[in-house]
Structure formats: structure tokens, C-alpha cells
Structure 1
Amino acid sequence: MSVRERKERERAVRERLIVATARELAEQRGWDAVTTRRLAERIEYSQPVLYGHFRGKREIIGAVALQGAAEMATALRTAVSAADGPRARVTALARAYLEFADRNPAVYDAMFRLDGGLAFAREDTPAPLKDAFAALLENLDEAAGDGVHPGLFAEVFWAALHGLASLTRAGRLPRGEAGRRVELLVDRLAVI
């Protein structure tokens, strides 16, 4: 292995460590607790080393969001693969989305609430974000019904799931009714 390859590998390891540490700290104490000073202390590198990888907290949030989008896409596809039939797939998709948001609140915030400098619904949208939306879209095309564009239906379904996730997390909706809310959402929106 050349010196250049070793340095690139070490750089990638440091970058993963920064992202993992930021994510862990955000999940434990919230994003306000994630500072370059605190990250530098935790990973035992200087702040300039962090700035050599990320220009600041915004880019770190973006990196966590991209990682989260990839994980969400996998979780959605895994849940749907075990379901039998179109209605069961849509229900499994909705439940998996809400479970992901509930299990990973800081990651979910990085993906949808905080400014990570990422473009959505544009040509320059990063691949992991496009793939997370594709994981929704590919399982909702049948549920859209005749005359409804599948992409538009996926956006509305996603917005409903995001609202449920956000309101439940904020304590505005009781957690005990989550299953019934998913059933109602699927019953009212999905034409299957």
C-alpha cells in the first residue's frame, strides 16, 4: 500500500469517527451539544483536524443526514420485503418509517429539521436522499390509484408520515395510538 493510499484510508477512518461521534452525542444530548470543540475532545483530535474534514457543524449534520437516509432506505426496503400484498407493504412501509424516526431522533432531525446544506428535490440532491425517497416511491405506486402521479402520492404520504413522527415526538399525539393512525392513513390514502 502506498503512502497516499494509507493517508486516504486514515482520512476516511477519521471522517467516519467524526460523524459517528457527532451522531452519538446528538442522540444523547441533542444537536445543541454538538460543537467542534466537544467533538475534538471526544475523538482526541484538534479542532483544525475536524475542519480539515468538515467546514463546520452544518456539514457534519449533512453527513449524518446522508448516513441516516441510507439507513432509512434499508429499513424501509427490509420491512416491505417481509410483507405479503400491496396493503401489507404500504402498512409495513409506514410503520418502518415511524419506527426509524422514533429510534433515531437526532438522525431524523439531521435529515428533515436541521440545515445540513443538502438539496432536496433537485438535480443535485445527493444519492442517499434520492434513494430514501425511492424506497418510499417504489412501494407506493400501486397505492396511488388511477390518475394520481405516484411521485405526488409518495410526497403526500411522506408528508403525512413526517407529521405523525414529528407530532408524536413532540408529545402532541399520544404514542399509544400509533398503530391505529397508520391503519387510518393507509385506509384513507392508499387505493389498494
Structure 2
Amino acid sequence: MGERQFAATLEKEAERTKQRFDEAFWLSDEEFYAVAVEEGGDAVPSITTNPGHCLWSGIVPETRADAVVDRLLAPEMFTGWGIRTLSASHDAYNPQSYHLGSVWPHDNSIVALGMARYGRQDAASQVAEGLLEAAQARGNDRLPELFAGFERSETDVPVTYGEACEPQAWAAAAPLACLQAIQGTPVEPPREIRH
């Protein structure tokens, strides 16, 4: 827009924010990002899907992206159907808890977009395939708001989360975001729907 000086200032500020984020949230022992930083500056070491959103935003340095992606796909996080909201190795993990171990399709689709942003279409495909197979296994080709975070090897069908909304708009959009992650371009609706 012709404001080169202002743009340069914003780019420098964004780079400083990226560095401060990495310094404050990176858990070197875990090779992953903390879910939060407490008021005193201590990082909360819970392993969650949230850093996948950081991949989507582009704030994760290239040098850390593979570690984050690989951790999201580790058995403690990836059920085979999708990525849990909280690691199964955490003391508070409960596969039937809304925030503490369930699988949210829309959350997973944002993570898949983040994985693709860093060139990890292999990982994005793994997440997308898990969600697709979950929808098919449920027998209605539809994803609910969330489902329980039980290991796929423990159940032939994703365990229903009792109060999950279905149909649900976030979940309905998840396959489109996953498709975008895999193919690398935005999904366009058919021409007759756009007009």
C-alpha cells in the first residue's frame, strides 16, 4: 500500500514477537511448546494440540517445526482417529473429558493446516486420513464436534462424547481444511454455490 517504512517496522516487531514467544514457551526437555506461561514466567509443561495452532500461525521457527509435528503424531497424542487435546501421559488425561484428552476435528484440521505450512504434508495426510476414517467408521460419514480420545486399537468406532453437537459447523468444515492442507490450495466451492 506504499507504506514501506511502516511495513518494515511491523515486520521487525513481528520477528521480535516470534523470538519472545519461542523463548517464553519452548520446553527444551520436551522439545515442544508449553500450553501457557504463568504470571511468574514459568511455562506450563502440559502437552496439548495448541502448539499445532502455532504451526498454523507461522510463529514456530523452522528449526523447531519438525519436533512439534512429530510430537503431535506420537502415540501419546495421536489416537489413530485424530490428535488428543491433552497428552495421554499427563496426570489429568481423561479420554472422555472435553478439554483433557478428547479429539476435536476442527482443532485437528487447524493443526493439519499448520503441518502443511511447514512442508509436512505427510503428517497433515495422517491427521486427515484419521478423521476421514473416523467419519466413515461412525457410519454416517460425518464428524461430531468432538469424540473421546481412546486409542484406535481399543475400539472399532470412535467413542461418542455424550454432549457433542452433531451436526456441528466447525466439524463440518474440518474435512475442507484437511483437503486444503493436503493439496496445498484453498478449496473452492462449486460455481453454482458461489453465486
Using the size of structure 2 for normalisation, the TM-score is 0.31
Q: Whose relative contact order is higher, 1 or 2, with alpha carbons under 8 Å and at least 6 apart?
A: 1
Greater share of residues in strand? 2
Greater share of residues in helix? 1
Radius of gyration: which is bigger?
A: 1
Using the size of structure 1 for normalisation, the TM-score is 0.31
